[in-house]
Amino acid sequence: MTTTGPAVGLMLPTVANPGTGAVDTARVVEAARRAEAAGFDGVYIGDHLLHPHPMLESVVTLSVVAARTERVSFGPCVMLVGLRNPVALAKQLGTLAAFAPGRLRVGVGVGGEYPGEFEVAGVALPERGRRMESVLGQVQSLLRSGARRPDVTIAPGAPDVPFLLAGWKEVSLRRAATYGDGWIGYLLAPDSFARRRAFLLEYREKLGRVEVPFTTGMLVPVHVDPSGGAAVSAAAAWAKITDSEAGFPARLFAAGRPGEVVEQLHRYWAAGCTELVLAPADQGEGYLEQVSMLAGEVLPQVKAFS
């Protein structure tokens, strides 16, 4: 059956639920395999050097995911490249792409919600935006041209790996339009997503990049509850995982009965979203059940959006 809907990805459970003590690595692998079998287009993971809760390192985890799947795209959503050495990161990404041709996609973000990880990395928090631009530019150059200077060569390269930039502030949108192959929104209602998408497209036209392929995606926390009324509790659970003291607005969640989740996701599609990355709020015992419900009762309808 031919579908015209958005690409749909799934965030893997690489952060432990608060109080559980550890990440279940077997669950991460099983989730990736189930997502691939169910027809998800991609599987993605978060990236932090330091986190309030146990969290797996992203590049190592991605290598495992690549080895245990065959078709599905994979990558960080998003990676804090400013915390990394650009040559080492280019080598890692080039190697991942060599083992899984055509499957690696790299989401990139500025970060800043956990200042300690910038301190231990020797990056001044106010400089994180400029640092990200510098590292990203070097990584892209190394992967696409093979060299940053005569004595540095990265092989294998990865000229076709797309970089998708995250953020919702104007400076982040300008970066995405200038350096990215796509944009990933987060913490945005559909109308806010639409306004930022319009800004992106207009700015890309000014840059003369209209003919360059560009995706506009959205990371959406989700929770399927056949009985309904799950948005508030799911938002509270997500706030604990992300260590958000202010909580998480329930209105930014796609939560409730399967049909309600589909309806909320359709609003992003109607706003111009070409890719949805779904992040189950339950990263623990209930995660795989959430994947099953998403795969059986939500994914087919979302893929059929027209």
Name the residue range of residue 230's domain. Answer: 7-299
Instruction: Flag whether pLDDT at 298 surpasses 70.
Output: yes
Given the DSSP bridges, would you call strands 152-153 and 147-149 parallel, antiparallel or unpaired? antiparallel
In a domain, 1, yes or no: no
Instruction: Flag whether pLDDT at 243 surpasses 70.
Output: no
In a domain, 170, yes or no: yes
H or E element in which residue 132 lies: helix 128-145
In a domain, 305, yes or no: no
In a domain, 114, yes or no: yes
Q: Give the pLDDT band (50/70/90) at residue 1.
A: very low
Instruction: Flag whether pLDDT at 257 surpasses 70.
Output: yes
Q: How high is the pLDDT of residue 21?
A: 75
Q: How high is the pLDDT of residue 247?
A: 53
Note the pTM of the prediction, 2 decimals: 0.93
CATH value at residue 208? 3.20.20.30
H or E element in which residue 176 lies: helix 170-179
DSSP string, 49-111: SS-SS-B--HHHHHHHHHHH-SS-EEEESSB-GGGS-HHHHHHHHHHHHHHSTTTB-EEE---
Q: Report, as an integer, the average pLDDT of 268-280.
A: 98
Instruction: Flag whether pLDDT at 244 surpasses 70.
Output: no
Instruction: Flag whether pLDDT at 2 surpasses 70.
Output: no
In a domain, 178, yes or no: yes
Instruction: Flag whether pLDDT at 283 surpasses 60.
Output: yes
In a domain, 250, yes or no: yes
In a domain, 27, yes or no: yes
**Among 274, 281, 275, residue whose Cα is nearest residue 254:** 281
Residues contacting 299, CB < 8 A, separation 6+: 8, 38, 39, 40
Q: How high is the pLDDT of residue 282?
A: 87
In a domain, 2, yes or no: no
How many domains does one find in the chain?
1
155-181, pLDDT tens digit by residue? 888 999 999 999 999 999 999 999 999
76-132, pLDDT tens digit by residue? 999 999 999 999 999 999 999 999 999 999 999 999 989 999 999 999 999 999 999
